[in-house]
Structure 1
Amino acid sequence: MKFKVQAEMTYTANTAGTLILNIHALNTLSQSILIEELSIAPQIDHEELKDIAGENRLARLQINEPGNIAISYHATVDNHWQLVDMTGVKETPVHQLPPEVLTYLHPSRYCQSDKLFRLAHNMFGDVDNPFVTVLNMAEWIYTNVQYLSGSTNSETSAFDTVTEQAGVCRDFAHLGIALCRALTIPARYFTGYAYKLYPADFHACFEAYIGGNWILFDATKLVPLNGMVKLATGRDAADAALANIFGEINFNTMLVNCTLADDGFVPFYYTQGSMQGISYS
């Protein structure tokens, strides 16, 4: 399925500095970039970087003098996600996990799985099928955490979200990740452009490593699971920040959009009793 994505951002630099943006769609085995263009006004030296901490395509802009900066990114992306049968799948023992997956078992800045160990085991530890376990987690988050814009900030963690029972998409994702890791299910943060998200914005959800596949979950239920264009993955939002600013540079405005560039889109969501997981890997 083809999507057109757009990101327009403006900044004001009061001093020289560096701006690292994470707005490029990824090229992966299941996602191909057909057309893309990055425009920066005024023209600024920049380079593309590959972040070793996760799946990220970063644009590093070196700003040498004060002024206003306008960034425009447009791309057409072809997604080839797949449905994976989760019937009868068992938890993969830690000694059989690929080395690159092991880092997604540990607590991280926003996902304190060690603090949620007892909660996770008491509520979700009695199900044999890990896909069903994570589905139950996502449903519990959806039911018990209110989606409330402006209710959290850049310091809010999964433990805070359990306590406050309110958050936005990144908080829902962090809580899902922390609960998974508490049950020894590797999980990672997933961010991207999202079709049918209103109001349009970047969207965060999470992936759990089940049966040898990274399976996507979205506890907010705000968008179809097959309507995502992947930007980045990481241990949590700290690894997949949309912008990192070094210097006195102020963010001003942002416009994000994701539209269909193809026919025949059929929205896919998990329903009660679902046994097919969607994978973008």
Structure 2
Amino acid sequence: MKFSLGCHLGYEVTTPTTMILNIEAMRLDRQQVQSESLIISPFVEAEPHWAIESGNLYRRLVLEPGEYTIDYRAEIDLVASREDPAGIAEMPVSRIPLEVLPYLYPSRYCQSDLLARFAWREFGEIGTGHDRMTAICNWIYQHVDYLSGSSDSATSAYDTFSQRAGVCRDFAHLGITFARALGIPARFISSYAWQLVPQDFHAVFEAYLGGRWYLFDATRLAPLDSIVRIGMGRDAADTAFATFYGSVVPQPKSVWIEPVDGAADPAREWTTEAVSVVGG
């Protein structure tokens, strides 16, 4: 499927500030960037840095006091891979590639060590592999309320588990936490997501199964095969769309993603059918 997407960000900078930006679509085998533009007004150099471990593209902006707008636009060719979940198994830790092991450890927002006992009691006897991950997503969807304003930048998976409310970021953190507690590497994904209402940046997660990364979304707010990845990391701390070192006042932002030339079925919805989408 082909998508046109982008975002418009505005900021009033009140003191000299350094911004780290992460809003551009990733370049992956199954996610081809056909064209893109990044316009910062007034012009400021956007120093790029590609993180070796993740492939994330960060840009550093040094801003003097004043008003700024940031406009990003891109056209993406997205190719999803559908597989039979019954054939997607877990891997023993002894066979997991060493470069994947960091996604097995507890992290700032995903305290898998604190929820391990619950995870094993709740999901330990529910199949393995993709079936177990589906059970995790089903549990989160059924037991955690999607409630705007119920969390903030300090909310962790343990907090979400206790409060039973959160937004997409919190749903992803909790899914990652349960997976890691069960010995399944998992990582956080920031994205553009078609049919998300209201439109915004969206958070989902991937689990490492059978030697590949598979996409999951416990919120069920967007079709899995329309997720355009922006960044990936151990948790949201690695993928924030904007991080500031200074003082700024954010203005209302806009985010969008639309199919190009009717490339996608406008009636498509999130489904519980056996569909897997492989990461890059």
Q: What secondary structure does 1:115 align onto?
A: coil
Aligned partner of 1:234 in structure 2 is 233
Distance 2:15 2:219 in 1: 39
CA distance in 1, matches of 2:161, 2:17: 37
Q: Helix, strand or coil: the match of 2:224?
A: coil
Matched, 1:44 2:33: no
Could you say which residue in structure 2 is the equivalent of 1:224? 223
* Structure 1 ranges of 4+ moved more than 3 A: 266-270
Residue 173 of structure 1 aligns with which residue?
A: 172
Deviation at 1:246, TM superposition (A): 1.1
Per-residue CA deviations over 1:206-229 (Å, capped at 9, x if unaligned) read 100011111111000011111111
User: Which residue of 1 is the match for residue 73 of structure 2?
Assistant: 74
- Tell me which residue corresponds to 2:205: 206
Question: In the alignment, does 2:188 pair up with 1:194?
Answer: no
Q: CA separation in 2, counterparts of 1:148 and 1:206?
A: 19
Q: Check the 8 A contact 1:53/1:239 in 2, yes or no.
A: no
Per-residue deviation at 1:108?
0.3
* 5+ long unaligned stretches in structure 2: none
The corresponding residue for 1:31 is 31
> Post-superposition shift, 1:87?
2.0
- Secondary structure, in 3 states, of the residue corresponding to 2:197? coil
Q: Which amino acid aligns with 1:79?
A: L
Whole-angstrom distance in 2 between the partners of 1:157 and 1:235: 13
Q: Which moved more, 1:124-133 or 1:178-187?
A: 124-133
Report the counterpart of residue 271 of structure 1 in structure 2. 272
Quick one: which amino acid aligns to residue 17 of structure 2?
Answer: G
Question: Could you say which residue in structure 1 is the equivalent of 2:257?
Answer: 258
* Paired amino acid for 2:44: I
Name the amino acid aligned to 2:18.
T
Partners of 1:113 and 1:262 in 2: CA distance: 43
Cα contact 1:206–1:216 (8 A) shared by 2: yes
- For the residues of structure 2 that align with 1:227 and 1:90, how far apart are their CA atoms? 24
| Residue 123 (structure 1) aligned with residue 122 (structure 2) | yes
Q: Is structure 2 residue 49 aligned with structure 1 residue 58?
A: no
More deviation, 261-270/42-51: 261-270
Whole-Å separation in 1 of the counterparts to 2:96 and 2:156: 26
Whether the aligned pair in 2 keeps the contact of 1:90 and 1:128 (CA below 8 Å) is no
Correspondences of 1:106-145 after superposition (within 5 Å): 106-145=105-144
Deviations 1:226-251 (A, max 9, x none): 11111011000001111110112222
Q: Which has the higher strand share?
A: 1
Local SS of the residue matching 1:82: coil
**Farther-moved stretch of structure 1 (111-120 vs 242-251):** 242-251
TM-score by length of 1: 0.95
Amino acid at match of 1:54: S
Q: Specify the SS of the correspondent of 1:36.
A: strand
Q: Tell me, what secondary structure is at the counterpart of 1:253?
A: coil
CA distance in 1, matches of 2:7, 2:263: 25
**Inter-CA distance 238–53: structure 2 relative to 1 (3 Å threshold):** farther
Task: Check if 1:3 corresponds to 2:6.
Answer: no
Of all paired residues, the percent bearing the same amino acid is 44
In structure 1, runs of 5+ residues without a counterpart are none
- Determine the structure 2 residue equivalent to 1:243: 242
Matched residue, 1:102: 101
Please say if residues 180 and 186 of structure 1, whose CA atoms lie closer than 8 Å, have aligned partners that are also in contact.
Answer: yes
TM-score, normalising length: structure 2: 0.95
3-state SS in 2 of match to 1:250: strand
Counterpart position of 2:88: 89
